[in-house]
Structure 1
Amino acid sequence: MVLPEGFVLPPWYLLVPLLVILAGIVALLWVLEPPVTDRTVLAFAPWMMFGSALHVLYQLGAYPENVETLFATPTVYLVAAAVAGAAWIVAIFLYAGGLQPTIPRFFGIAGTAFFAVFASIILNVSWAEETFNLFWPVIAVIAAGIVTAIAWVALSLWFTDVAKTTSYTGALVVFGHTLDGVSTAIGYDVIGVEESVPLSALLLEAGGSLPIAEYVGAGWLFVLVKAALALVILGLFKEYVEDAPQQARIVLSGIAAVGLGPGVHNVLLFIAT
């Protein structure tokens, strides 16, 4: 099995219009050529989290049956990208009209507001169903923050030029993948959740087969690999960021989303279930 469990595509009459809308948004952004700085990438972060919230609500059965497949994997990423892209375009025009001091400011605030609304729905649903639990989600975020700090300090000391060049964008990549690793490890070792991604499941099984797993669990290897992989990617992207900073930051933001999205999804799911 190559695809993760729960991989569902919506019917063509939902998928095709979504792809057309998304293609139009991408084309317009291509024409507008908005600047992509570290602040822009940080403004992407709440939109990545917004996509996670949409998918958790799908897993909780919160959507009407005729449109729920739009919020399954992988279409939920397209939906979140379309909404985020539309908000980015609005931010560009507001800035051009002198109504906003910067593009990332409005874009980031809008993303935070979207995420907050849908996260609040998740919290309300879990509270009503008496499944609300913050202990392990908080532990996951704190542990991810600690591991990220250690990894970033190590990168800054031994590969200072990489940390300086990738800056906040690089830090987001490391945190996103570390949060995914830590939350997955907690889910696997503590809560007893089965991993749906085949490659991740192999890493977890490998960690569980080591003698140390009896004392620290199986997930530590997954966390280590995720954090190390993020640092290696930043090293490989150093020259790309120097030569083509805008394009490189867009690609790095996508890499960050692959970690932060699943990580936030795990945290929200722990809260709700």
Structure 2
Amino acid sequence: MPTGLDATLEMVPIRPMQHDERITGLTLTFRAGERPDADAIARVIAASREAGLPASISHRPPGAAHWLELLASGLTFDLNGLAPGAPGPVANSQQEWGFEGSGPVGGETIELVPSGHIAGGAGILPVLRTMMGLAANLVLELPVQSVGWGAAQTAMEPRYFCRAVLNWLGGGPFPGLGLTALLPAQDGSIASRGLAHFTGQEMQLEGRAGEAPADTAKLAVRVIDRLVTMGRLAAPVRIDAGDQILTAEPSQVGRLVLVWREGRG
């Protein structure tokens, strides 16, 4: 499947969502037979701690554990689907990012999710940032074939995911192409899918006659970055997008922010 901005905006119509309600976190897909077991995860965590990653195994069930509880930055996450137990759920991705050629291949998954006592805060930004950073460090050390993010119904090439997430955690822009999906409409507008998991609201950007789809998408990514920084909107705000001014206005119906274009001056 194409992965560039131009190609993505040609993916019309978007396939109907096939969201698996079990998928509340990140899924890491491996080739059959390559899923890690608890011992392999323990080795990765130990090596990562030596490299400065503040993570540890906070709970390991006795016997042949098919899951682990991981502690990072004071927050706990469950890693489910470890070998030799049953694999985790398979995500149905609607957009893929960072792959060359035909995109991700099938396989077996493990799933990283917030633990029960913080599951209610799974959409709180510090929880999400910690989970993404923990996942990136696991992906760097394991033979992961693709990273799925259920909230946006996206799949990401592992190196693409790690670069985007670690850059964001280091102060760079939010990975809008991966942690959200872009849904183009026939009128040239673009809506987000998955942004509500970070801000409580999705976004719809007004199109502009004659504007290349790739340019509209780049603007949408910039807007998404700003909205993640600002959080949930309760009143209209203006966004300086460099060569134009935008107005982001929360809709009175549903969890939606409408983004309109303004002229300079």
TM over 0.5: no
State the TM-score, normalizing by the size of structure 2: 0.27
Identify the structure with bigger relative contact order (alpha carbons < 8 Å, sequence gap 6+): 1
Higher strand share: 2
TM-score, with normalisation over the residues of structure 1?
0.26
